[in-house]
Amino acid sequence: MLAISNLSKTYANGVHALRGINLNIERGLFGLLGPNGAGKSSLMRTLATLQTADSGEVRLDDVDVLAEPKRVRRLLGYLPQEFGLYPRIDAATMLDHFACLKGIDDAAERAQSVEALLCLTNLWDVRKQKLGTYSGGMKQRFGIAQAMLGRPQLIIVDEPTNGLDPEERRRFLNLLARTGEDAVVILSTHLVADVRELCAAMAVMDKGRVLAHGEPKAMVAEIEGQVWQREIEPTEADHLADGVTLLSTHLNAGRTVARVHSANGAPSGFRATQANLEDVYFAALRNAA
């Protein structure tokens, strides 16, 4: 288990990126949802020992993550949100090199891991192509392959589905689900669907804080019966009754439909609708504001 307590980080420019994060993350897939600037990457870089924290504690089973970065790195697979690749090197050679760095010293074992990962990420046919010629999605898949080298116990993937086409996204999520069975896997994303389809547990973050966490199904069940919707005039969104929180609006055949949260029965004119994970996400954000 990964146990995070009171983790805080302020950057040199004064931005409080993490404000006392507390989370216990079990093995399996954990989804981290939050808007731009919430602090997801800051949290992930800290867990990946790439930056220090100001205060707090992180333990991965018996490893003190903040005090023993070298031990953590041997157990870690990390896919940053943005990364560069050597453009003139082919994927197979580069992955073999990363495998060496990971400490997979046996050549046969290394060749086997590299081959398996290139197949899993659907890059086998283009393994001899230079990385500089890869499309965005291919680069992303290469990044995923390197993060999975050496059977890591802690896998941190920062917006891994960003830029993948629907088929590759599906392949990747399936791959992550399989790998995640015996590791702690933390996945950040803007896509509620990534979390709904895949994660046993999740947290919603904003402004450096965890606003809500739990099991997706249980979190939806908690607001069941409190979500309402109706067509509105766009200007009405600003004048909702007290105790009614606007969750989201969407267009349906050119008309604006609002979804709202109210724990005290149906607001005037609204009808009941089934709660979903997107409602959970917006309710956490809006009710914290």
Ligand X SMILES: Nc1ncnc2c1ncn2[C@@H]1O[C@H](COP(=O)(O)OP(=O)(O)OP(=O)(O)O)[C@@H](O)[C@H]1O
Interface residue list for Mg ion (CB under 5 A): 40-41, 81
CA distance 230 to 45: 42
Q: What angle do CA 157, 162, 166 make, to 5 degrees?
A: 115
Q: Residue 10 pairs with which residues in a beta bridge?
A: 16
Nearest approach, Cβ of residue 42 and ligand X (Å): 3
> Smaller CB distance to ligand X: residue 10 or 276?
10
> Smaller CB distance to Mg ion: residue 40 or 102?
40
Q: For 109, which DSSP code?
A: H
Nearest approach, Cβ of residue 36 and ligand X (Å): 3
Residue nearest to Mg ion (CB): 41
Among 4, 17, 232, 260, binds ligand X (CB under 6 A): 17
Q: Residue 256 pairs with which residues in a beta bridge?
A: 232, 251
Number of residues that bind ligand X (CB under 6 A): 13
Is residue 11 part of the contact set for ligand X (CB under 6 A)? yes
Phi, psi of 100 (to 5 degrees): -60, -45
Per CB under 6 A, which region of 38-46, 123-131, 225-233, 266-274 contacts ligand X?
38-46
CA distance 207 to 204: 11
Please list every residue from 197 through 256 that binds ligand X, using CB under 6 A: none
Nearest approach, Cβ of residue 223 and Mg ion (Å): 26
Nearest approach, Cβ of residue 263 and Mg ion (Å): 32
Q: Do 245 and 286 touch, CB atoms closer than 8 A?
A: yes
Is residue 39 part of the contact set for ligand X (CB under 6 A)? yes
Q: Which does 34 bind (CB under 5 to 8 A by kind): Mg ion, ligand X, none?
A: ligand X
> Smaller CB distance to Mg ion: residue 81 or 93?
81
Rounded to the nearest angstrom, the gap between the alpha carbon of residue 72 and the centroid of all alpha carbons in its chain is 20
> Smaller CB distance to ligand X: residue 13 or 268?
13
Binding mask 64-83 for ligand X (x = CB under 6 A): -----------------x--
CA distance 221 to 204: 16
> Smaller CB distance to Mg ion: residue 9 or 40?
40
> Smaller CB distance to Mg ion: residue 41 or 179?
41
CA distance 171 to 90: 22
Q: Do 229 and 273 touch, CB atoms closer than 8 A?
A: yes
What's the order of all strands across the beta sheet hosting 76-79?
A: 76-79, 154-158, 184-189, 28-33, 201-206, 209-214
Is residue 15 part of the contact set for ligand X (CB under 6 A)? yes
Is residue 38 part of the contact set for ligand X (CB under 6 A)? yes
Rounded to the nearest angstrom, the gap between the alpha carbon of residue 18 and the centroid of all alpha carbons in its chain is 16
